[in-house]
Amino acid sequence: MALAQRKDLLGLRDMSREEIEMILQTAVPMKDIIKRDIKKVPTLRGKALVTVFYEPSTRTRTSFEIAGKYLSADTVNLAVSTSSVQKGESLRDTIKTIEVMGFDVIVMRHAMSGTPHYVARNTDMRVINAGDGANEHPTQALLDLYTIKEKKGTLEGLAVTIVGDILHSRVARSNIYGLSKFGCDIRVVGPSTLMAPEIEKLGVKCYYDLEKAVAGADVVNILRIQKERQHSGLFPTLDEYANLYMIKKDKLKKAKEDVLILHPGPMNRGVEISSEIADGTQALINEQVTNGVAVRMALLFLMMGGTRDEITN
Amino acid sequence: MKLLIKNGRVIDPLNEVDGKMDVLINNGKIADMDKELEAGENVRVIDAKGKIVCPGFIDMHVHLRDPGYLYKEEIASGTRAAAAGGFTTVCCMPNTKPVVDNAAVAAYVRQIAARTGIINVLPIGAITREQKGEQLTEMADLIAAGCIAVSDDGKPVEKAEIMRNALEYAKMFDLPVLSHCEDLSLSRDGQMHEGYYSTIYGLKGIPAAAEEIMAERDIILARLTGGHVHICHISSQGTVDLIRKAKAEGIRVTCEVTPHHLTMTDEALGTYDANTKVNPPLRSAEHIQALLAGIKDGTIDCIATDHAPHELESKDCEFNLASFGISGLETAVPLIMSLLDKEFDMYRMVQLFTAGPARVLGLNKGSIGIGDIADITILDPDKIKTVDPDNFYSKGRNTPFGGRQLKGWPWMTIVNGKIVAEDGRIIEE
């Protein structure tokens, strides 16, 4: 399916390799635009985008907003906490209200899995999932793929280790779906209480031992640990978590020498990642943020019916 | 008026009857049964050729929502849904507002049922006051007011001590205790069956162990007390195994299974359509196979719908915020008939809807014999129809089966000698 024919982007699970490649290729010229002195192209002039975030987020929301602006779309952020939710309005009515204001695209973040899918069924607007519960965060995975491909030249056959709270992670799921379409050797590692049931059936290898999981890895993608998981009894203390799973230099000895370090941010330094790694030369954490804007520009552009030639010419 | 049902295949498992037979109904009772009966004067003849004539189907687990939640269902609408779905008797759960935890509320339910209902409604009383799991209800009084069992369905009786006392106390009256088995600490915030699909869909899982742990506890308490525990809506392989073993030991345990747990897997939740959200959750294909094995070997006593109607708003929302439950009365029979031949035969199916629940509850129902009250369900095994929730009599349109084409539907429902539903439509007086 071409992206222009796709009404919504809800996840990578049902996206084809060709669609993903198209987005990654289109993001290359988009990244050039970000680096220009005049960072604006008229491509989406007259289009309107609204971000509706039911969960706090700075970088994803800002990234979508600026991506839209660079393409000349009108972008609006709906501050949900101060809006209809507190007045008891149903989600369906909120969405209808937004729709009739004339928005073309709604970018949605929600703590509950499947909410963007529900919204997509009930609106003519295009829906982009900016993270839903523990289900998917497709644009994060796309920017991760872009970042890896940019450095390594290819995604084909790379060994990628995802570390941390796999059970609750939408970033992990979307990365698994995306990477598996490129024949990657995907490993997931974390405490057994934070491992999703039957995850091996997704074609990944499951580890509890960090050093074994990163042996030979080309990429280590570190997930943010939510501190409240400790309170629900899923692991004893953050100290023990850090002892077992924090990425620091001596844990990476068996990884490839040029291993890339990714983290979706925001980081808990000293919990899932040490400062020496976070600030080291192999960490691409800031690069990921820039790429995030480029990938989201590409996505908005392609979904609104643009062709790749249009932007490169 | 007299009714003569001619040329049908009569299946009455309680009396071990299966064969072509005519049935004459007079004054609300079965007046005669024989290979060939002549229609006399003033007799309406019903040609049941190619149809299956059964004792009236009994659904021992429905939520009729009255009192308190009339926007979800009423006894008028719920009993019409039941009649259209082929049932002549339903037993309604007490988790209403107020809870049916005293004789006055039970009497209210019976009164409304007598006035607005069109089939037999038998109330179930609560095990504990306000279903809080603390203090036993006045069970003798509830029985006097017409209750046929006790249950805190919707939630488990959390304390083993209270469950022990309930089983001990109910034993005096030979009253079955219907148990909703769920360890709330394991199921907390859960949205669906825990397994491969909960991983894929990113929804919090409810492990089968949440049901099995409580089922095992209740079986152990039934052994301790000699009381009769009936495990509601079993959904897992482990529960089937536990009950099979307990029955072999002679413990007084029975159980029911719902049509949806036999015919839809957890894979269906991928659309995040809240109509697939139900408690216990739809489980995996392996669990379904175990439930079917339990039906075949007699471990499972009956089929019950757990009919849980909801208003649109409580399903048309974010998945996590949606209510649990499926409106099941109008799809139960065709869903089970869709399993015929592949999984079990017609005789066993009729048993699960008639003799099965009648035995569990000790009801004087579930058979067709001369002198019996004429509650009869006639099935059309060849009818093919697509489920259309917009045509439901139930106020609850919450079904995940909308659009599913099914073969084998109820054809006629006769209550107390009167035709109340024909071909899925209610015959109003």
DSSP A139-168: HHHHHHHHHHHHHHS--TT-EEEEES--TT
Cα separations (Å) of B376 from A313, B10, B54, B304? 77, 10, 6, 18
Pick A133's closest partner by Cβ from B202, B313, B316.
Answer: B202
Residue B227 DSSP one-character state:
-
Query: Helix axis angle, A170-180 relative to A138-152, nearest 10°?
Result: 50
C-alpha span between B19 and B131 (Å, rounded)? 46
Q: Look at residues B95, B220, B67, B91 and name the one whose alpha carbon lies nearest to residue B152.
A: B95
The full DSSP string for B331-382 is THHHHHHTTBTTTB-HHHHHHHHTHHHHHHHT-S-S---TTSB--EEEEEEE
Q: How many residues does chain B have?
A: 429
Cα separations (Å) of B412 from B118, B135, B355, B381? 14, 43, 19, 12
Residue-level pLDDT at A313: 44
Task: Residue B198: list chain A partners with CB under 8 A.
Answer: 196-197
At residue A302, the 3 state secondary structure works out as helix
The token duo for A86 is 């507190």
Contact between residue B24 and residue B4 where contact means Cβ atoms under 8 Å apart: yes
Mean pLDDT to the nearest integer, B231-255: 98
Does the distance separating the beta carbons of B194 and A113 come in below 8 Å? no
Does the distance separating the beta carbons of B204 and A197 come in below 8 Å? no
Q: What is the ipTM of this complex?
A: 0.93
Share of chain B above pLDDT 90, in %: 98
Residue A227 pLDDT level (bands cut at 50, 70, 90): confident
Residue of B nearest to A173 (CA): B200
Residue A275 pLDDT exceeds 60: yes
Share of chain B above pLDDT 70, in %: 100
Per-residue pLDDT tens for B57-101? 999 999 999 999 999 999 999 999 999 999 999 999 999 999 999
Mean pLDDT to the nearest integer, B247-268: 98
Residue-level pLDDT at A307: 57
Residue-level pLDDT at A211: 97
Mean pLDDT score across all residues of chain A = 93
Respond yes or no: is residue B59 known to be catalytic.
no
Q: Label residue A36 exposed, middle or buried (CB < 10 Å: 0-12, 13-18, 19+).
A: exposed
C-alpha span between A255 and A172 (Å, rounded)? 20
Residue of A nearest to B270 (CA): A114
Per-residue pLDDT tens for B279-332? 999 999 999 999 999 999 999 999 999 999 999 999 999 999 999 999 999 999
Residue A26 pLDDT exceeds 80: yes
Q: Look at residues B170, B188, B186, B187 and name the one whose alpha carbon lies nearest to residue B178.
A: B170
Residue B318 DSSP one-character state:
-
C-alpha span between A206 and A259 (Å, rounded)? 20
> Could you count the other beta carbons within 10 Å of the beta carbon of residue A124?
8
Cα separations (Å) of A199 from A164, A189, B336? 14, 11, 33
Task: Residue A134: list chain B partners with CB under 8 A.
Answer: 202-204
Contact between residue B383 and residue B407 where contact means Cβ atoms under 8 Å apart: yes
The one-letter amino acid at A178: G
> Could you count the other beta carbons within 10 Å of the beta carbon of residue A243?
9
C-alpha span between A98 and B264 (Å, rounded)? 36
The token duo for B105 is 């509320």
Residue A254 pLDDT exceeds 80: yes
Q: Cis (ω within 30 of 0) for the bond into B67?
A: yes
The one-letter amino acid at B413: T
Cα separations (Å) of A138 from A196, A305, B179, B335? 18, 19, 43, 38
Residue-level pLDDT at B307: 98
- Cα B281 to the chain's mean position, in Å? 17
Residue A60's φ and ψ, nearest 5 degrees, are -65, -45
Task: Residue A198: list chain B partners with CB under 8 A.
Answer: 195-196, 199
C-alpha span between A217 and A189 (Å, rounded)? 12
C-alpha span between B14 and B55 (Å, rounded)? 9
Min Cα separation A112/chain B (Å): 6
Does the distance separating the beta carbons of B203 and A113 come in below 8 Å? yes
3-state helix, strand, coil split of chain B in percent (to 5) is 35, 25, 40
* First and final C-alpha spacing in chain A: 24
Contact between residue B90 and residue B78 where contact means Cβ atoms under 8 Å apart: yes
Mean pLDDT to the nearest integer, A284-295: 98
Residue-level pLDDT at B265: 98
Residue-level pLDDT at A2: 65
The one-letter amino acid at B270: G
The token duo for B7 is 């040329």
Q: Label residue A159 exposed, middle or buried (CB < 10 Å: 0-12, 13-18, 19+).
A: buried
Residue-level pLDDT at A226: 85
The token duo for B192 is 């669906």
> Could you count the other beta carbons within 10 Å of the beta carbon of residue B71?
14
Residue of A nearest to B269 (CA): A114
Per-residue pLDDT tens for B144-195? 999 999 999 999 999 999 999 999 999 999 999 999 999 999 999 999 999 9
Contact between residue B178 and residue B232 where contact means Cβ atoms under 8 Å apart: yes
Q: Which of B301, B306, B372, B375 is catalytic?
A: B306
The token duo for B31 is 């007046």
CA angle B183/A229/B195 to nearest 5° reads 50
| B35-44 residues labelled b (16+ CB within 10 A) or e (exposed) | eebeeeeebe
Per-residue pLDDT tens for A175-223? 999 999 999 999 999 999 999 999 999 999 999 999 999 999 999 999 9
Q: Look at residues A40, A66, A30, A39 and name the one whose alpha carbon lies nearest to residue A51.
A: A66
Share of chain A above pLDDT 90, in %: 87
Does the distance separating the beta carbons of A92 and B317 come in below 8 Å? yes
Residue A56 pLDDT level (bands cut at 50, 70, 90): confident
Task: Residue B271: list chain A partners with CB under 8 A.
Answer: 117
Per-residue pLDDT tens for A125-165? 999 999 999 999 999 999 999 999 999 999 999 999 999 99
Residue-level pLDDT at B107: 98
C-alpha span between B348 and B303 (Å, rounded)? 11
Contact between residue B19 and residue B361 where contact means Cβ atoms under 8 Å apart: no
B156 touches chain A (CB under 8 A): no
Residue of A nearest to B313 (CA): A90
Mean pLDDT to the nearest integer, B376-384: 98
Per-residue pLDDT tens for B130-151? 999 999 999 999 999 999 999 9
Does the distance separating the beta carbons of A196 and B272 come in below 8 Å? no
- Unique residue bearing structure tokens 């029911």: B256
Q: Look at residues B309, B306, B271, B316 and name the one whose alpha carbon lies nearest to residue B398.
A: B309
Residue A3 pLDDT exceeds 90: no
